[in-house]
Amino acid sequence: MDRTYLEDREKFLSDAMRNMEEGLYDDAIAIADARLNRFPGDMDACLVIASCRAGMGNPVEAGEIVEQWHDIVRDQSRVCEVLGDAYSRDGMTKEAIEAYIRFAALNTDPPAYGRVSEKIASLQGITTGEEDGDADMPADFHTITLARLYVKQGYFKMAGDVLDRILESDPGNVEAVKYAEHVKRLMKKGWGPVIDELDGWLNELQKKKGR
Q: Say whether pTM exceeds 0.75.
A: no
What gap in Å lies between CA 210 and CA 42, rounded to an integer? 23
Q: Residue 27: count other Cβ atoms within 10 Å of its Cβ.
A: 16
State the pLDDT at residue 194.
55
State the pLDDT at residue 132.
42
State the pLDDT at residue 160.
84
From the centroid of its chain, how far is CA 152? 6
Single-letter amino acid code for the residue at 89 = R
Burial of residue 147 (CB within 10 Å: 0-12, 13-18, 19+) is: buried
CA trace torsion 56, 60, 63, 68 (10° rounding)? -110
Phi, psi of 178 (to 5 degrees): -65, -40
At the topology level, CATH places domain 3-75 in 1.25.40
Cα-only R_g, the chain: 20
State the pLDDT at residue 129.
43
Q: Tell me if domain 3-75 and domain 76-187 are identical in fold.
A: yes
**pLDDT tens per residue, the chain (211 residues)?**
567 777 888 899 899 989 998 999 999 999 999 999 988 878 889 889 998 998 898 888 888 887 777 777 777 788 889 999 999 999 998 888 888 877 877 776 667 777 887 888 788 664 444 444 443 444 454 478 777 766 766 667 778 888 888 888 888 889 889 999 988 887 776 555 555 656 666 666 556 555 5
DSSP label of 200: H
Is 76-187 in CATH node 1.25.40? Answer: yes
Q: Residue 123: count other Cβ atoms within 10 Å of its Cβ.
A: 20
DSSP 117-135: HHHHHHHHHHHHHTSTT-T
Query: Taking CA 154 as the corner, what is the angle to CA 151 and CA 159, rounded to the nearest 5 degrees?
Result: 40
Residue 71 in contact with residue 108, Cβ under 8 Å?
no
What gap in Å lies between CA 55 and CA 52, rounded to an integer? 5
Residue 105 in contact with residue 147, Cβ under 8 Å?
no
For the chain, domain boundaries: 3-75, 76-187
Long-range contacts made by residues 77-81, C-beta under 8 angstroms, separation at least 24? 77/102, 77/103, 77/106, 77/107, 78/103, 78/107, 80/106, 81/112, 81/116
